Amino acid sequence: MLKNRIIPCLDVKNGRVVKGINFVDLKDAGDPVEQAKIYSDGGADEICFLDITASNENRETIYDVVEKTSKKCFVPLTVGGGIRSVKDINKLLNCGADKVSINTAAVENSKVVVDSSKKFGSQCIVVAIDAKKNGDKWEVFTHGGRNNSGIDALEYAEQMERNGAGELLVTSMDRDGTQVGYDIDLMSKISSKVNIPVIASGGVGNLDHLVDGIKLGKASAVLAASIFHYGKHSVKEAKDYLDSKGIPVRI
Amino acid sequence: MNVTIVDYKSGNISSVINSFKEVANDKVTIEVTSDVNKIKSSDKIVLPGQGSFKSCIDALNKIKGLRDTLSEFAITNKKPLFGICVGLQMFADIGYEETETKGLGWISGKVSKIDNQGGKFKLPHIGWNEINIVKDSKIFKDIENNSHMYFVHSYEFVPNDKKVISATTDYSTKVVCSVEKENIFGTQFHPEKSDKFGLKIIDNFISL
C-alpha cells in the first residue's frame, strides 16, 4: 500500500538554514546539509528546501547546498524558491535535486510548467500554490505571498495539472505561521478537483494537524517546518502518531 | 571492475550517479558516459530513465550505435545490466506512453498506463510503497520482503512471461516493480532514492 509522506521543510537563505533544528548537538546549526541528513536518517520521506535568498548575487548558494546534500541524502529532495525558467530547473536537477517546486513563475508564465514537464518529466515538476481566502473562494498569491494574482486557486490547480505538474504543494496563506492547523477546506477541495497528489502545507502546530491534513484534507503528503524544528517533535514521533491513528506511513 | 551508467541525455541522472558512487566507495570505478566503446568494455551497465517511454527511446536512438551496443552487451554477451524506472520499461517490445513506440525487445511484453480504476487512485504513483518479493533475485540479497521503496511513475511494465517478475507492489492493481531475466535486472522504483534498502540493492548489483 502506498504510504502517506511526511516532508520536513528547511528555509535556506544565502546557503544557510534560517529556521531549523535547534536541539541536537550540531556542529554547525546553520548547515543545511547536516540538517537534511538528520531528517533523512530520522525517517523523513522527502526533504524540501525553500530558498528564501532575497538578492540575486547570492542565488548561486543554493546550487552548492543541493549538490552537497544530494551526495549525503538518499531520499527525494525537492527545491523551491526563486525558480524562474527551464534553465534554472535544469541547473537544480543537475546539482542533484529530484524535484523542483515552482511558484511565481508558474503564474506569470504557464509555459515554464508546460515546457519543463515535457523536458524533464512531470515527476519532477511540483507547482506550489500559495492561496488565501477571499469570500467564498481562494486566490493565488505570488512573490512569497506579497502579490495577489486574483486567480481562483481551484481553477488554477486544475490548469496546472493539465499543464503537466506532477504534484501540487498547496499552502494556505491564512494559516501559514499560525500553528492552528491546515486549511482543511482548501486542501480537500483541491485534492478532489485534481488527479495528481496534493501536498498540504501551512499552519501545522501539532501532530493532530498532520492527521487532519491526510484524513480530512485528503492530502497524499504533509509538509511542515516549525513542529520539527526546535525539537518539538521528531519525524519518527510524527510517523508513530500517524500510524496510531491508522494512517499508512513508512516506519 | 567498472560499472558504467549510460548517460544518453534523457532526464536527470545525478541521483543515480551519487548513489552508485556512494556505494562503490572507491572499490569499483563508476563511469558515466554515452561512449559506445567505453560501454563495450564495461563489466556492468546501469540504464537509467526519466520522462516518457518515447522520449527515452528517442534519446537512446539519437546516439549512433548505442542501441546495438547495449543489445550486444546484454543479449549476446549476457553481461549484467540494471535498468531503473523507464530504463526497465524500455526492456519491453512496445510502450504506449504519448504514442505507440517500439522498445528494446529484450523481455517480451508491453508498457501501459496503470489502471487507476477511473481516477480512484491518483497518478503518478508517487511515494513509498512496499515491495512483495515473488522470486529470489540476486539484487534482493538481504532485502526483507515488504521493504519500502520510492516510486514515481504512471506506466507499468507488463511482461508476457510472468516468471521474470521478481517483485510487485500494490497500487490499484498488482504492479510489476522488479524483473530478473538471466543477466538482466530492472526496478520500477528508484533504488537511488530509497534510502538504505535502495543502496543495498545497488550494492547487490555491484557485487554480482
pLDDT of A27 reads 59
**pLDDT tier for residue A20 given thresholds of 50, 70 and 90:** low
Minimum-distance CB partner of B18 among A71, A167, A220: A71
pLDDT of B36 reads 96
**pLDDT tier for residue A145 given thresholds of 50, 70 and 90:** confident
B192 noted as active-site residue? yes
Could you tell me if A121 lies within 8 Å of chain B, comparing CB atoms? yes
Q: Respond yes or no on whether ipTM tops 0.90.
A: yes
Tens of pLDDT along A165-211? 999 999 999 998 889 999 999 999 999 999 999 999 999 999 999 99
**pLDDT tier for residue A144 given thresholds of 50, 70 and 90:** confident
The dihedral sign for the CA sequence A98, A103, A104, A110: positive
**Three-class SS of residue A95?**
helix
> In which residue are the cell numbers 558504467 written?
B4
A positions 169-198 inside 8 Å of B (CB): 195-197
* Higher local confidence (pLDDT), A144 or B105: B105
Q: Do B199 and A93 touch (CB under 8 A)?
A: no
pLDDT of A21 reads 58
- Taking chain B (208 residues) in runs of 10, the rounded mean pLDDT of each run is 92 91 91 96 96 92 97 98 97 94 98 93 95 96 98 96 98 97 98 97 97
**pLDDT tier for residue A24 given thresholds of 50, 70 and 90:** low
pLDDT of B169 reads 98
CA nearest neighbour of A117 among B98, B126, B188, B51: B51
pLDDT of A230 reads 72
pLDDT of B103 reads 98
Residues of B in contact with A98 (CB under 8 A): 12, 15, 193
B56 noted as active-site residue? no
- Residue B202, judged by CB atoms within 10 A of its CB (0-12, 13-18, 19+), counts as buried
Q: Work out the average pLDDT over A84-94.
A: 93
pLDDT of B10 reads 75
Minimum-distance CB partner of A197 among B19, B122, B150: B122
- Tell me which chain B residue has its CA closest to the CA of residue A44: B195
Residues of A in contact with B9 (CB under 8 A): none
Q: Work out the average pLDDT over A218-234.
A: 89
| A57 Cβ contact partners less than 8 Å away, ≥ 6 residues apart | none
**pLDDT tier for residue A26 given thresholds of 50, 70 and 90:** low
A positions 59-78 inside 8 Å of B (CB): 70-71, 74-76
CA nearest neighbour of A71 among A109, A33, A114: A33
Residue A16 CB neighbour total at 10 angstroms: 16
Measured at the CA of B146, the angle between CA B143 and CA B152, to 5 degrees, comes to 95
| A189 Cβ contact partners less than 8 Å away, ≥ 6 residues apart | A154
Q: Are B189 and B143 in contact (CB under 8 A)?
A: no
* Higher local confidence (pLDDT), A204 or A231: A204
Enter the DSSP assignment of B202: H
pLDDT of A226 reads 84
Minimum-distance CB partner of A220 among B127, B193, B196: B127
